Amino acid sequence: MHKLLLTAAAAVLGAALAAAPAAAQTLEKIKQRGVIVVGSKADYKPFGFRDPSGAIVGFEPDIAKLVADKLGVKLEIEPVVSSNRMQFLQQGKIDLMIATMSDTPERRKTVDIIDPDYYASGTNILAKKSEGLKSWDQLKGKKVCLIQGSFYNKELQEKYGIEGVAFPGTAEAYAALRNGNCVAFAYDDTAIVGEMLKPEWSDYEMPLESILPQPWGLAVKTGEKAFGDFMAKTVTDWHKTGFIQQLEKKYSIKPTKFAMDMMSKYK
């Protein structure tokens, strides 16, 4: 029995060692075929959206193009959504995922998220300019639209004393804000930026300093050490050179503390 167990263990170890090199070849495959396939959002303006021709453009496709140029290959953008982006990476449908994904311990168990993180979203509000809001403390006792189940709802109510009015989705929250049922709508600042690009929000603003930052990480398939190391150096270079801040300016995104802090850290 002891001999059989040793034999079985050796077989399992041998299979694992044989499989490891085979699994970690994405970087070489990209170079061989001359194309990198990057998963990006196509419905999250200005981070990833379709232009009038149908092409996927935006903040994150610009990042993907820089990666492709650095590798000397062509770029192919594959549209992904939150529910399939990690599966697409695991299944090899994409080589690299740059898709507004928050960096969390749970997600690190599924894919290899690159250090350092490349961007971050926070919580902010959309409110009429005429409200003259300048600080979170001004919202105390006032009705603020929220999305049911959002992680920041509790803190906004307990720390800042807002009177939360929760809705199941953004369409209902935006409608309530327009109808005057709330003085503001608290939501992801990155999503508010995209919404404010629409003409109907010309009388509204995102006036406060964002709070509760959630870092975003780009990801490669688990075990892709060579590719992961390449991307880690690449992201570090973006922070050193101020490239992320350049993209904020290009897409009319309010400068973030995250981008400024990361540039200071790596410069």
Each domain of the chain, given as residue ranges in start order, spans 26-118+217-266, 122-213
Considering only the top CATH level, what class is 122-213?
Answer: alpha beta
pLDDT attached to residue 81:
86
Q: List, for residues 180-229, the tens digit of each pLDDT value.
A: 999 999 999 988 988 998 899 999 999 999 999 899 999 999 999 999 99
The CATH number corresponding to 26-118+217-266 among 3.40.640.10, 3.20.20.480, 3.30.1330.10, 3.40.190.10 equals: 3.40.190.10
CB count within 10 Å of CB 67 equals 22
Mean pLDDT score across all residues of the chain? 90
Query: Between the CA of residue 150 and those of 5, 153, 170, 234, what are the distances in Å?
Result: 50, 6, 12, 32
Is 21 in contact with 90 (CB distance < 8 Å)? Answer: no
State the pLDDT confidence band at 73, using cuts at 50, 70 and 90.
very high
Q: List, for residues 107-157, the tens digit of each pLDDT value.
A: 999 999 999 999 999 999 999 999 999 999 999 999 999 998 888 899 999
Is 219 in contact with 113 (CB distance < 8 Å)? Answer: yes
What is the token pair recorded at 50? 């379709």
